[in-house]
Amino acid sequence: MRGALRRPERPFQVLCVLVAIALTAAASLQLVHAESDGSRLTKSDFGSLGERSNTNTIAIVAGNPNGTYLTIAYDLSDVLDDGDNFRILPVIGKGGGQNIRDVRFLKDVDIGITQSILLTKYRESGEIGNIDDKIVYITKLFNEEMHVVTPSGSGIKSIAELNGKKVNFSDIGSGSQLSGRDVFKRLGIAPVEVNIGQADALEKLKTGELAATILIAGKPTNVMSKLRAADGFRFLPVPFAKTLQADYLPAVLSQSDYAGMVGDGQDVNTIAVSAVLIAYNWPKDSDRYRRIAAFVNAFFPKLAELQKPPHHPKWQETNLAAVVPGWTRIQAAQDWLDLNRTKQPATGATREQFDKLLTLGGVSDGASDPAGENNELFQQFLKWHARQH
């Protein structure tokens, strides 16, 4: 009959009508409540709130849930957020390489996490222009370990056996992809590169479609912590070859890191690269620089709080005064360190500290190590250090 209400023919239409009614009712109730208690916001109030929120918020481009960057960014948000006065906005990113591009080019991203070796890569290649005056660092964060996972039933015992085989290098633009390529090239190994997420890669390891998957991230990572040797996975050791020693560090994956993958006393040797917190080099008189300076002044005094559970154990390695060779620290961070230098604890296990210890102890002159004896000692030191924390 004309003019009569017609029943919607599709469930989706019914849903839309109900949602619209509910939203309208909720908005009406809010207005009634605001008017009744005299707290109704004016357009001017909304404008002030929006301006304050934008002025005191800073975005940090991190990584995906498989690695460590996103957890680190969330930890910063958890500890540093102060309502509308200051807020950290963690941004899911692709990881190392892409994060450098994002800090360099994206309008709303001022800070990111990447790998020190990738900064050098982009400087040398010039593929995103001259970044010496565009990118500065805030602090070195921690070391990221290389995880190489293969099916235990594949018979593969070393990464050299991955030559010519399909290996997942994680997402395009990630630190796992770019640094992983570099490691294999230096070792003279040429696998067939595949780029997919870690969850998909692990499934393909089970079916034999992939020989291995690579993840370079600070241990323990979410995705690797779920693996079990009983389910047919194993970590491959990565040799600390001479061709890697200029830019990488020796490291271990232990039972305390991955109880389901590493047996007691069966540590897996691997390598690590430095993770660095970087920022865009804004002029000192700009609002964007002011935000980064506010971040530094909020972050640095609270490192000790970040180093407490339940925050990621990688915070234990952070030494705010650690230098990233060849790169400039943002002045706001340097100013804070200069004012608080005597208060900074010596945290983290670094190769530089270890070599200095050997020199002071008369074990080495620090100039050369032809037999590789210091590297072997450092590997043993790392294993000992891992068991102490």
| pTM to 2 decimal places | 0.76
Q: Which CATH code for domain 143-274?
A: 3.40.190.10
Q: What is the token pair recorded at 288?
A: 């964007």
Task: Give per-residue pLDDT as tens, 59-86.
Answer: 999 998 888 999 999 999 999 999 888 9
Question: Which strand (E) or helix (H) includes residue 13?
Answer: helix 11-36
Domains 51-142+278-343 and 143-274 share a fold: yes
Residues 6+ apart with CB under 8 A from 84: 49, 52, 53, 56
CA distance between the termini of the chain? 78
Helix (H, G, I), strand (E, B) or coil at 216: strand
Domain range annotation of the chain: 11-41, 51-142+278-343, 143-274, 349-389
- Beta bridge partners, 375, equal none
The mean of the pLDDT values for the chain is: 83
pLDDT digits (tens, 9 = 90+) for 363-386: 554 445 544 455 556 655 655 554
What pLDDT is recorded for position 353? Answer: 57
Q: Which CATH architecture has domain 51-142+278-343?
A: 3-Layer(aba) Sandwich (3.40)
Cβ(53)–Cβ(47) below 8 Å: no
Contact 96, 124 (CB under 8 A): no
pLDDT tens-place string over residues 228-270 = 999 999 999 999 999 999 999 999 999 999 999 999 999 999 9
According to the 3-state scheme, what is the secondary structure of 161-179? Answer: HHCCCEEECCCCCCHHHHH
Say if residue 23's pLDDT is above 70. no
